[in-house]
Amino acid sequence: MGLYDRDYTQEGFRSQFRNAPQMRMTFPRLTPMVKRLLIINVAVFAVSFLIRPLRDFFFTWFSVYPATLGMSLQLWRLVTYQFLHDTAGFGHVFWNMLILFFFGPMLERLWGSRKFLIFYLVCGATGGLLYPLLAHAGWLRIGPLVGASGAIFGILAAGAILFPNLKVYMMGIFPIKLMVLAIIMAAISIMTLLRPNVIANAGGEAAHLGGMLAGTIYVLSHSWRAKFKLKIQSGLWEKKTAARHDLQAELDHILQKVHDSGIHSLTSKEKKILKKATEAEKMRNKL
Protein backbone atom coordinates (compact mmCIF):
# COMPACT_ATOMS: atom_id res chain seq x y z
CA MET A 1 0.00 0.00 0.00
CA GLY A 2 3.05 2.27 0.27
CA LEU A 3 3.71 4.60 3.14
CA TYR A 4 0.56 5.38 5.07
CA ASP A 5 1.79 8.88 5.76
CA ARG A 6 2.31 9.73 2.11
CA ASP A 7 -0.97 11.64 2.03
CA TYR A 8 -0.06 13.58 5.14
CA THR A 9 0.69 16.49 2.85
CA GLN A 10 -3.04 17.10 3.01
CA GLU A 11 -2.49 18.31 6.57
CA GLY A 12 -1.16 21.57 5.23
CA PHE A 13 -4.44 22.44 3.53
CA ARG A 14 -6.28 21.71 6.77
CA SER A 15 -3.82 23.12 9.28
CA GLN A 16 -1.84 26.17 8.18
CA PHE A 17 -1.77 27.94 11.50
CA ARG A 18 -0.77 31.36 12.76
CA ASN A 19 -1.07 31.82 16.54
CA ALA A 20 0.22 33.29 19.74
CA PRO A 21 -1.01 33.15 23.35
CA GLN A 22 -2.15 36.79 22.94
CA MET A 23 -4.60 35.54 20.25
CA ARG A 24 -2.94 37.65 17.56
CA MET A 25 -1.40 36.69 14.25
CA THR A 26 2.36 36.59 14.72
CA PHE A 27 5.37 34.35 14.33
CA PRO A 28 6.17 32.65 17.64
CA ARG A 29 9.54 32.89 19.31
CA LEU A 30 11.08 29.42 19.25
CA THR A 31 11.38 27.61 22.56
CA PRO A 32 14.34 25.29 23.32
CA MET A 33 12.63 21.90 22.96
CA VAL A 34 10.66 22.85 19.86
CA LYS A 35 13.89 24.07 18.30
CA ARG A 36 15.61 20.75 19.05
CA LEU A 37 12.71 18.73 17.65
CA LEU A 38 12.70 20.79 14.47
CA ILE A 39 16.44 20.32 14.00
CA ILE A 40 16.33 16.56 14.63
CA ASN A 41 13.38 15.96 12.29
CA VAL A 42 14.82 18.04 9.47
CA ALA A 43 18.29 16.51 9.88
CA VAL A 44 16.96 12.94 9.79
CA PHE A 45 14.86 13.77 6.75
CA ALA A 46 17.83 15.32 4.94
CA VAL A 47 20.05 12.30 5.63
CA SER A 48 17.28 9.89 4.57
CA PHE A 49 16.64 11.90 1.40
CA LEU A 50 20.29 12.09 0.38
CA ILE A 51 21.42 8.56 1.31
CA ARG A 52 18.95 5.95 0.05
CA PRO A 53 20.54 2.89 1.75
CA LEU A 54 20.41 4.71 5.08
CA ARG A 55 16.83 5.67 4.41
CA ASP A 56 15.95 2.02 3.78
CA PHE A 57 17.71 1.02 7.00
CA PHE A 58 15.81 3.65 9.00
CA PHE A 59 12.45 2.65 7.55
CA THR A 60 13.12 -1.05 8.09
CA TRP A 61 14.16 -0.79 11.73
CA PHE A 62 12.62 2.40 13.08
CA SER A 63 9.20 2.76 11.44
CA VAL A 64 6.03 1.34 12.97
CA TYR A 65 5.68 -1.72 10.75
CA PRO A 66 3.33 -4.43 12.07
CA ALA A 67 4.24 -7.02 9.45
CA THR A 68 4.59 -9.55 12.27
CA LEU A 69 3.63 -9.65 15.93
CA GLY A 70 7.32 -9.59 16.84
CA MET A 71 7.85 -6.36 14.91
CA SER A 72 4.83 -4.84 16.64
CA LEU A 73 6.39 -5.65 20.00
CA GLN A 74 9.58 -3.72 19.16
CA LEU A 75 8.53 -0.79 21.34
CA TRP A 76 11.35 1.54 20.32
CA ARG A 77 9.54 1.98 17.00
CA LEU A 78 6.76 3.92 18.78
CA VAL A 79 9.28 6.69 19.43
CA THR A 80 11.67 6.45 16.50
CA TYR A 81 8.98 6.47 13.79
CA GLN A 82 8.08 10.00 14.88
CA PHE A 83 11.38 11.32 13.53
CA LEU A 84 11.09 9.71 10.10
CA HIS A 85 9.21 11.25 7.18
CA ASP A 86 8.31 10.20 3.66
CA THR A 87 11.16 11.15 1.34
CA ALA A 88 9.05 11.03 -1.84
CA GLY A 89 8.48 14.76 -1.39
CA PHE A 90 8.93 17.61 1.03
CA GLY A 91 5.29 18.11 1.95
CA HIS A 92 5.14 15.50 4.71
CA VAL A 93 7.96 16.89 6.84
CA PHE A 94 7.21 20.51 5.86
CA TRP A 95 3.63 20.63 7.14
CA ASN A 96 4.40 18.68 10.30
CA MET A 97 7.28 20.97 11.17
CA LEU A 98 5.29 24.07 10.26
CA ILE A 99 2.52 23.16 12.69
CA LEU A 100 5.10 22.27 15.36
CA PHE A 101 6.76 25.64 14.76
CA PHE A 102 3.54 27.58 15.34
CA PHE A 103 1.87 25.54 18.08
CA GLY A 104 4.71 23.88 19.98
CA PRO A 105 6.08 27.03 21.68
CA MET A 106 2.64 27.87 23.05
CA LEU A 107 2.46 24.61 24.99
CA GLU A 108 6.14 24.48 25.92
CA ARG A 109 5.91 27.91 27.57
CA LEU A 110 2.82 26.75 29.42
CA TRP A 111 4.20 23.42 30.67
CA GLY A 112 7.98 23.70 30.50
CA SER A 113 10.39 21.89 28.17
CA ARG A 114 10.55 18.54 29.98
CA LYS A 115 6.78 18.12 30.33
CA PHE A 116 6.23 19.26 26.75
CA LEU A 117 8.70 16.69 25.41
CA ILE A 118 7.03 13.89 27.38
CA PHE A 119 3.64 15.02 26.09
CA TYR A 120 4.92 15.17 22.51
CA LEU A 121 6.43 11.69 22.57
CA VAL A 122 3.46 10.10 24.36
CA CYS A 123 1.00 11.52 21.83
CA GLY A 124 3.14 10.25 18.97
CA ALA A 125 3.55 6.85 20.61
CA THR A 126 -0.21 6.55 21.17
CA GLY A 127 -0.79 7.23 17.49
CA GLY A 128 1.85 4.65 16.63
CA LEU A 129 0.17 2.14 18.93
CA LEU A 130 -3.35 2.53 17.59
CA TYR A 131 -2.34 1.75 14.00
CA PRO A 132 -0.85 -1.75 14.60
CA LEU A 133 -3.75 -2.64 16.88
CA LEU A 134 -6.19 -1.92 14.07
CA ALA A 135 -3.91 -3.59 11.53
CA HIS A 136 -3.65 -6.84 13.50
CA ALA A 137 -7.40 -6.76 14.01
CA GLY A 138 -7.70 -6.89 10.23
CA TRP A 139 -9.26 -3.44 9.95
CA LEU A 140 -6.31 -1.71 8.26
CA ARG A 141 -3.83 -2.84 5.66
CA ILE A 142 -0.27 -3.40 6.87
CA GLY A 143 2.56 -1.13 5.83
CA PRO A 144 5.27 1.08 7.35
CA LEU A 145 4.05 4.11 9.29
CA VAL A 146 6.32 7.14 9.70
CA GLY A 147 5.89 10.76 10.68
CA ALA A 148 5.43 13.14 13.58
CA SER A 149 1.73 13.63 12.83
CA GLY A 150 0.52 11.71 15.89
CA ALA A 151 2.46 14.09 18.14
CA ILE A 152 1.45 17.09 16.02
CA PHE A 153 -2.24 16.23 16.26
CA GLY A 154 -1.84 15.76 20.01
CA ILE A 155 -0.53 19.32 20.15
CA LEU A 156 -3.49 20.45 18.06
CA ALA A 157 -5.99 18.76 20.41
CA ALA A 158 -4.34 20.18 23.53
CA GLY A 159 -4.24 23.67 22.03
CA ALA A 160 -7.92 23.42 21.06
CA ILE A 161 -8.92 22.63 24.65
CA LEU A 162 -6.67 25.23 26.24
CA PHE A 163 -7.23 27.96 23.65
CA PRO A 164 -10.55 27.05 21.96
CA ASN A 165 -11.22 30.53 20.54
CA LEU A 166 -7.78 31.01 19.06
CA LYS A 167 -8.15 31.92 15.39
CA VAL A 168 -6.12 30.00 12.83
CA TYR A 169 -6.15 30.42 9.09
CA MET A 170 -6.76 27.53 6.70
CA MET A 171 -4.54 27.92 3.65
CA GLY A 172 -3.50 31.24 5.18
CA ILE A 173 -6.84 32.76 4.17
CA PHE A 174 -9.91 31.36 5.92
CA PRO A 175 -10.18 32.16 9.66
CA ILE A 176 -11.52 29.43 11.91
CA LYS A 177 -11.50 28.80 15.66
CA LEU A 178 -8.97 26.25 16.79
CA MET A 179 -11.61 24.14 18.55
CA VAL A 180 -13.71 23.97 15.40
CA LEU A 181 -10.66 23.00 13.35
CA ALA A 182 -9.73 20.25 15.82
CA ILE A 183 -13.27 18.83 15.67
CA ILE A 184 -13.14 18.83 11.86
CA MET A 185 -9.77 17.07 11.87
CA ALA A 186 -11.02 14.44 14.34
CA ALA A 187 -14.15 13.89 12.24
CA ILE A 188 -12.04 13.40 9.11
CA SER A 189 -9.89 10.81 10.89
CA ILE A 190 -12.93 8.93 12.19
CA MET A 191 -14.70 8.91 8.82
CA THR A 192 -11.51 7.75 7.12
CA LEU A 193 -11.12 4.86 9.54
CA LEU A 194 -14.71 3.82 8.88
CA ARG A 195 -13.75 3.40 5.20
CA PRO A 196 -10.19 2.04 5.41
CA ASN A 197 -10.26 0.38 2.00
CA VAL A 198 -11.31 3.57 0.23
CA ILE A 199 -8.80 6.03 1.69
CA ALA A 200 -5.10 5.25 1.14
CA ASN A 201 -4.01 7.10 4.26
CA ALA A 202 -6.21 5.24 6.74
CA GLY A 203 -3.18 4.14 8.74
CA GLY A 204 -1.97 7.71 8.98
CA GLU A 205 -5.41 8.85 10.14
CA ALA A 206 -5.24 6.21 12.88
CA ALA A 207 -2.03 7.87 14.08
CA HIS A 208 -3.77 11.26 13.90
CA LEU A 209 -6.70 10.07 15.97
CA GLY A 210 -4.50 8.29 18.50
CA GLY A 211 -2.42 11.43 19.00
CA MET A 212 -5.52 13.57 19.42
CA LEU A 213 -6.97 11.16 21.98
CA ALA A 214 -3.75 11.23 23.98
CA GLY A 215 -3.58 15.04 23.84
CA THR A 216 -7.21 15.37 24.90
CA ILE A 217 -6.88 12.94 27.80
CA TYR A 218 -3.68 14.60 28.99
CA VAL A 219 -5.26 18.06 29.22
CA LEU A 220 -8.64 16.99 30.60
CA SER A 221 -7.04 14.76 33.24
CA HIS A 222 -4.77 17.53 34.53
CA SER A 223 -6.94 18.34 37.55
CA TRP A 224 -7.31 14.65 38.48
CA ARG A 225 -3.59 14.02 38.07
CA ALA A 226 -2.72 17.06 40.19
CA LYS A 227 -5.03 15.85 42.99
CA PHE A 228 -3.64 12.33 42.75
CA LYS A 229 -0.06 13.63 42.91
CA LEU A 230 -0.92 15.80 45.90
CA LYS A 231 -2.54 12.84 47.63
CA ILE A 232 0.56 10.70 47.08
CA GLN A 233 2.83 13.48 48.33
CA SER A 234 0.62 14.00 51.38
CA GLY A 235 0.67 10.28 52.09
CA LEU A 236 4.45 10.16 51.84
CA TRP A 237 4.73 13.21 54.10
CA GLU A 238 2.45 11.58 56.68
CA LYS A 239 4.51 8.39 56.57
CA LYS A 240 7.74 10.34 57.02
CA THR A 241 6.22 12.32 59.88
CA ALA A 242 4.98 9.13 61.58
CA ALA A 243 8.37 7.44 61.09
CA ARG A 244 10.12 10.50 62.51
CA HIS A 245 7.76 10.49 65.50
CA ASP A 246 8.37 6.78 66.15
CA LEU A 247 12.13 7.28 65.89
CA GLN A 248 12.03 10.18 68.34
CA ALA A 249 10.03 8.10 70.81
CA GLU A 250 12.57 5.28 70.50
CA LEU A 251 15.46 7.72 70.97
CA ASP A 252 13.81 9.14 74.09
CA HIS A 253 13.54 5.60 75.44
CA ILE A 254 17.21 4.87 74.63
CA LEU A 255 18.43 8.13 76.20
CA GLN A 256 16.39 7.47 79.31
CA LYS A 257 17.93 3.98 79.49
CA VAL A 258 21.42 5.48 79.19
CA HIS A 259 20.59 7.95 81.94
CA ASP A 260 19.30 5.23 84.25
CA SER A 261 21.70 2.34 83.52
CA GLY A 262 24.57 3.69 81.44
CA ILE A 263 25.43 3.26 77.79
CA HIS A 264 26.71 -0.28 78.37
CA SER A 265 23.15 -1.37 79.07
CA LEU A 266 22.12 -0.73 75.47
CA THR A 267 21.61 -3.56 73.02
CA SER A 268 23.48 -3.68 69.72
CA LYS A 269 20.39 -2.45 67.86
CA GLU A 270 19.89 0.45 70.29
CA LYS A 271 23.52 1.51 69.90
CA LYS A 272 23.14 1.58 66.09
CA ILE A 273 20.00 3.71 66.37
CA LEU A 274 21.75 6.13 68.72
CA LYS A 275 24.78 6.35 66.42
CA LYS A 276 22.64 7.09 63.36
CA ALA A 277 20.68 9.73 65.24
CA THR A 278 23.92 11.38 66.41
CA GLU A 279 25.33 11.43 62.84
CA ALA A 280 22.07 12.84 61.47
CA GLU A 281 22.11 15.60 64.08
CA LYS A 282 25.71 16.49 63.17
CA MET A 283 24.73 16.76 59.50
CA ARG A 284 21.81 19.06 60.32
CA ASN A 285 24.11 21.27 62.38
CA LYS A 286 26.55 21.56 59.46
CA LEU A 287 23.75 22.62 57.14
Residues marked as catalytic? 149, 208
Which helix H or strand E contains 118, and what residues bound it?
helix 113-136
What is the rounded distance in angstroms from the CA atom of residue 56 to the CA atom of residue 62? 10
Which helix H or strand E contains 22, and what residues bound it?
none
What is the rounded distance in angstroms from the CA atom of residue 208 to the CA atom of residue 126? 9
What is the rounded distance in angstroms from the CA atom of residue 182 to the CA atom of residue 159? 9
Exposure letters 239-259 (e unless 16+ CB within 10 A, then b): eeeeeeeeeeeebeebeebee
What is the rounded distance in angstroms from the CA atom of residue 44 to the CA atom of residue 250? 61
User: What's the distance, CA 253 to chain centroid?
Assistant: 52
What is the rounded distance in angstroms from the CA atom of residue 195 to the CA atom of residue 207? 15
